[in-house]
Amino acid sequence: MIRSCFVFLLVCGLVMIGSVSAQQKDASRTGWISDESCGTQHTKPGRADCVQKCWRGGASVGHPEWKPQRAVFVADDDQTIWIVENPEAVQNFPAAHVVLEAKFDSAKKTIHVEKIAPAAQ
């Protein structure tokens, strides 16, 4: 009986730890704003036109088959790509190196941007 209770409590504890790690975490990170299609290709300056075209989709450049791409954040430290849940927050920063404060959801690989600013050069 005691053994069963111990096993039950151990399993419950492990489940709680797993759910906490998958929850959203507030963090400040440095990285690049890109689009879902190009991702890590825009981790240097000068690609803003490409990112904006991908965000809009190909209809604006004569390729209606190209679907609009979602905005993403490419983290500097590990090149992880995070889908931006609120793209209006990053629309003025295409292919820009930025510091942002966001809620990171590691289970969904998404972020909700709270603050964004250009990174120091």
Q: What is the pLDDT along the chain (121 residues), one digit of tens a residue?
A: 776 545 555 555 555 554 444 455 788 999 999 999 899 998 888 889 889 988 988 776 677 788 899 999 999 999 999 999 999 999 999 999 999 999 999 999 999 999 999 998 7
Residue 19 pLDDT: 45
Nearest to 108 by CA among 86, 90, 87, 81: 81
Residue type, 74: V
pTM: 0.75
Residue 44 pLDDT: 82
Q: How many angstroms separate the CA atoms of 46 and 114, rounded?
A: 25
Nearest to 116 by CA among 106, 79, 94, 81: 94
CA distances from 109 to 20, 43, 47, 87 (A): 15, 19, 24, 15
Which strand (E) or helix (H) includes residue 106? Answer: none
Q: What domains sit in the chain, N to C, each tagged with a CATH number?
A: 24-118 (2.40.50)
